[in-house]
């Protein structure tokens, strides 16, 4: 399974149990850590946990076992590492505070230097 197929699997798994505001970020040109970041919101701590569990289960069935999961105990922000995709599922207030979409939409360092002048 390539990274694009994994990304599609993740989005579909999130949609299966009604994730809110799913955003896919292609970060291949920005980092070597992963190819995609998928950010989604859940309506409650339990919903956030259920979303991540569903993604992890579907990925494992497709032969892409998760490397790790962080934040499950609190359920406000859970990170699922699938190597080629990092899945961030958060409560809306946490997502708004950290605003990962804006952070990862910034251009390369050269673009930032040009805007600082």
| Average pLDDT over every residue of 40-57 | 96
Domains of the chain and CATH, by start: 3-102 (3.30.460.10)
Q: By CB neighbour count within 10 A (0-12 exposed, 13-18 middle, 19+ buried), where does 102 fall?
A: exposed
CB 23 within 8 A of CB 49: no
Q: Give the pLDDT of residue 1.
A: 79
Listed in sequence order, the residues at least 6 apart from 87 whose beta carbon sits closer than 8 Å to its beta carbon are 10, 14, 37, 38, 40, 52, 55, 79, 80, 81
- pLDDT digits 0-9 by tens, 55-113: 999 999 999 899 999 998 888 999 999 999 999 999 999 999 988 887 777 555 544 44
């Amino acid at each position: 399974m390539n990274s694009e197929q994994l990304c599609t699997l993740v989005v579909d798994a999130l949609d299966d149990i009604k994730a809110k505001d799913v955003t896919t970020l292609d970060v291949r040109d920005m980092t070597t850590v992963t190819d995609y970041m998928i950010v989604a919101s859940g309506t409650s701590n339990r919903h956030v946990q259920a979303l991540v569990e569903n993604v992890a289960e579907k990925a494992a069935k497709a032969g892409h076992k998760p490397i790790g999961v962080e934040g499950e105990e609190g359920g406000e922000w859970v990170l699922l590492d699938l190597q080629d995709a990092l899945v961030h599922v958060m409560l809306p207030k946490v997502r708004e505070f950290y605003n990962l979409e804006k952070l990862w939409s910034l251009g390369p360092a050269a673009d930032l230097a040009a805007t600082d002048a």
